[in-house]
Amino acid sequence: MIVYLDANIVIYLVEDHPLWKPKVATRIVSFRSAGDEIGISDAHRLECLVGPLILGDAASLADYHTFFGDPTVKALSLTAKVCERAAQIRAAHQYKPLDSLHLAAAVENGCGKFLTNDGQLSGFPDLTVELLT
């Protein structure tokens, strides 16, 4: 199974958030121990790189590029079909555009789980949403 990481999860991991990083790292180890793959999409670049770019934080930018280039992290395509699914999700659930895009990328690429700590996404019916607590 592919477990799609929401952008907030990647941010906690890469930016060493003191509360959330250990929880994320534990979940990722658990997923990988079960034989699951970790998935992200290029939408993560848009969300994750903004803060370091605003701050001129070259070290964080390098950390993100290392994460994005990790061969154990599966990069999922943002195709026209994904974008159309995102529009359908946004229309049906009124999620934010990037949340809709992440969910659509997960669904259209066959992910079995979506890891987030955004409680608003927990009711999404098209795949299992796991809330990081």
- Residue 133 · residue 118 · CB < 8 Å: no
Amino acid at 98: L
- pLDDT digits 0-9 by tens, 7-44: 999 999 999 999 999 999 999 999 999 999 999 999 99
CATH topology of domain 2-131: Rossmann fold (3.40.50)
- pLDDT digits 0-9 by tens, 35-54: 999 999 999 999 999 999 99
Write down the domain spans for the chain: 2-131
pTM of the model: 0.95
- Residue 100 · residue 87 · CB < 8 Å: yes
As beta bridge partners, residue 113 has: 3, 128
